[in-house]
Amino acid sequence: MARRPRPDPKLDALREGGTLNPRPAGVVDEAFRASDFFDARDLVQVKYEMLRRVRVERAPVTRAAEAFGVSRPTFYQAQATFGQAGLGGLVPRKRGRRSAHS
């Protein structure tokens, strides 16, 4: 008899909020591997830590993007939206229509 997986409230919340990282296995940064505090499934946390690594720790952009499983253009997009909107800018926008279609 197959066992049902345990419910994961954080996974459900990330999915519902649109912040579930579609490629958590691509995050190979040591902090995410060594600590339960960091969660590669949390796309906002991944992007924030990537930006912090470059700004505070002066890591090269290419190396940081690779370690956090994103492309360089994604890094620069995150940097720009964070600069404009702060942490809320790292939350992915919902796809699809923005308003009713006439």
Is residue 2 in some structural domain?
no
Is residue 62 in some structural domain?
yes
Alpha-carbon dihedral sign for residues 3, 7, 10, 16:
positive
Predicted local distance difference test score (pLDDT) of residue 68:
98
Output the CA torsion 9→12→18→21 (10° steps): 80
Q: What are phi and psi of 89, to 5 degrees?
A: -70, -20
DSSP three-state, residue 66:
helix
Per-residue pLDDT of the chain (102 residues; tens, 9 = 90+): 677 778 899 999 999 999 999 999 999 999 999 999 999 999 999 999 999 999 999 999 999 999 999 999 999 999 999 999 999 999 988 765 656 655
DSSP H/E element including 49: helix 43-55
Q: Where in the sequence is the domain holding 41, given as residue range(s)? A: 15-87
Is residue 99 in some structural domain?
no
Q: How many domains does the chain have?
A: 1
